[in-house]
Structure 1
Amino acid sequence: MESPRQMALPVTLPDDETFASYFGGEASLEVSHLKNGLARRLTGFQYTYLCGLADSGKSHLLYATCIEAQELGLSTILLSMREVLDFGPLVLDGLDALDVVCIDDVHLVAGDEAWEKALFNFFNRFNEKGKCLVVTADLLPNMLNLSLPDLESRLTWGTTFQIRSMSDDDKAEALVKRAHMRGLELSDECARFLLTRLSRDMRALLDVLDKLDHASMAAQRKLTIPFIKATLKL
């Protein structure tokens, strides 16, 4: 079996999901806290718990944390529980040697005794100066129905942010902002058209934006509603 480090970042980390592209902005409390945590890690263990439902942007914050850590020369990994759950708790072995560990969707292990115990033990091993841990889940720790009370307690140790789900206005603004960062002009009208005609899942919308970006460059055309309709066959 591949090591956890080989299974993670190189294939699952979107390189455009940075703090700068976060829909809440770089000045948001959660971004400021995560950036400061990386800067302060040598003064003590830095742990952050991010909770929110789908399309809240919590996974984006994990990706951004890893990218920021890499730019600082730190060793890092992002574990998506959706991707590694079936590999079993052994994927956590050796991760305490890294500087920064991000774990997405930890709520998926709730009720799995082996995983809960492994996460609790990892938390204890990783809890030392110079380390930074960021965990996401859909709910607060006391609402996850964990079978191991000690794990629930550990998950409450750090700073917790409840991230609200993105509204349609937020998603439209995020699409326009992400397009601008690519050097692509997407009008508010076009962004809202995409939201009304396609899935409102933000990852799916960003995949569509990527397709439109390539099509626009190939055709040397601006993004208009007729061009979008033709490209996406709507």
Structure 2
Amino acid sequence: MSNEPLQMALPVTLPDDETFASYFGGAQSLEVNHLKVSLKNMSQAFQYTYLCGLADSGKSHLLYATCIHAQEIGLSTILLSLREVIDFGPAVLDGLESLDVVCIDDVHLVAGVDQWEKALFNFFNRFSEPNKCLVVTADLLPSMLNINLPDLESRLAWGTTFQIRSMSDDDKAEALVKRANMRGLELSDECARFLLTRLSRDMRALLDVLDKLDHASMAAQRKLTIPFIKTTLNL
């Protein structure tokens, strides 16, 4: 089998507005500063970070932001969403050690699956050397994932771990307003809270709606108001 990494999550698919600057926890948060420093210090030693949090904690956003920042400073990178590639099997990990930065999202999805556990452990061993950076996310701490392979559990707990809290409705409203402002779009707090009460509270879905409203607002040359949002979204 070729040692070239399978291109299941190309860097060009990264959302261009999910950066450290737009992270709801703040561009100067401990986790953002740590990830920036990790990318800066790769030449000194292998850099490994474990991000732990439930849905809507922003951990996937941090993976996108890490990849975007890595690309900006000239590093090769890939974001591997296990939710998207799990059906392809652990062969998706083959050859990834040729890259500088690897981000693996939702590792909890393969906990207890022997083939995946062995593949992740072997990849970890191949990749853990200077000039490499690995960032992994899961919903729980390594000791709570029901991993069968003790050596993998030990490896996952090896680096710096951040437990990230889920976003409250206030956090989501603030994040929507902030993201709109970064696009040059004015979204009032009242409109943001209206979206939260009438739509899915999933942050990814809300950002997709914001994108739709952005396009509609530009096309109609209208500000975002609750009546305009109702009409645009058929609410």
Which TM-score band applies after superposition, normalised by the shorter structure? over 0.9
Q: Does 1:76 align with 2:77?
A: yes
Q: How does 1:131-170 map to 2 (within 5 A)?
A: 131-170=132-171
Q: How does 1:97-136 map to 2 (within 5 A)?
A: 97-136=98-137
- Measure the CA separation in 2 of the matches of 1:161 and 1:7: 26
- Measure the CA separation in 2 of the matches of 1:201 and 1:11: 23
- For the residue of structure 1 that corresponds to 2:7, the secondary structure is helix
- Measure the CA separation in 2 of the matches of 1:91 and 1:45: 22
- Measure the CA separation in 2 of the matches of 1:215 and 1:203: 19
- Measure the CA separation in 2 of the matches of 1:151 and 1:208: 39
- Measure the CA separation in 2 of the matches of 1:19 and 1:132: 17
- For the residue of structure 2 that corresponds to 1:172, the secondary structure is helix
5+ residue gaps, structure 1: none
State the shift of 1:11 in Å: 6.0
- For the residue of structure 1 that corresponds to 2:41, the secondary structure is helix
Change (3 A) 1:11 1:69: closer
- For the residue of structure 2 that corresponds to 1:178, the secondary structure is helix
State the shift of 1:4 in Å: 4.4
- For the residue of structure 2 that corresponds to 1:43, the secondary structure is coil
Contact persistence 1:103–1:135 (CA under 8 A): yes
When normalised by structure 1's length, the TM-score is 0.98
Q: How does 1:208-227 map to 2 (within 5 A)?
A: 208-227=209-228
- For the residue of structure 1 that corresponds to 2:63, the secondary structure is helix
Structure 1 runs (4+) deviating above 2 angstroms are 1-6, 9-12
- Measure the CA separation in 1 of the matches of 2:167 and 2:29: 14
Larger displacement relative to structure 2 (195-204 or 1-10): 1-10
Higher helix proportion? 1
Larger displacement relative to structure 2 (66-75 or 1-10): 1-10
- For the residue of structure 1 that corresponds to 2:178, the secondary structure is helix
- Measure the CA separation in 1 of the matches of 2:167 and 2:155: 28
State the shift of 1:6 in Å: 2.2
- Measure the CA separation in 1 of the matches of 2:53 and 2:120: 20
- Measure the CA separation in 2 of the matches of 1:51 and 1:198: 26
Q: Percent identity?
A: 85
Contact persistence 1:5–1:77 (CA under 8 A): no
Q: How does 1:1-234 map to 2 (within 5 A)?
A: 4-10=5-11, 12-234=13-235
- For the residue of structure 2 that corresponds to 1:130, the secondary structure is coil
Contact persistence 1:185–1:223 (CA under 8 A): yes
Contact persistence 2:173–2:196 (CA under 8 A): yes
Contact persistence 1:53–1:165 (CA under 8 A): yes
Amino acid at match of 1:144: L
State the shift of 1:7 in Å: 1.6
When normalised by structure 2's length, the TM-score is 0.97
- For the residue of structure 2 that corresponds to 1:64, the secondary structure is helix
Q: Deviations over 1:152-182 (max 9, x none)?
A: 0000110000000000000000000000000
- Measure the CA separation in 2 of the matches of 1:170 and 1:51: 18
- Measure the CA separation in 2 of the matches of 1:55 and 1:36: 24
- Measure the CA separation in 1 of the matches of 2:225 and 2:6: 42
Aligned residues: 234
Amino acid at match of 2:32: V
- Measure the CA separation in 1 of the matches of 2:13 and 2:105: 12
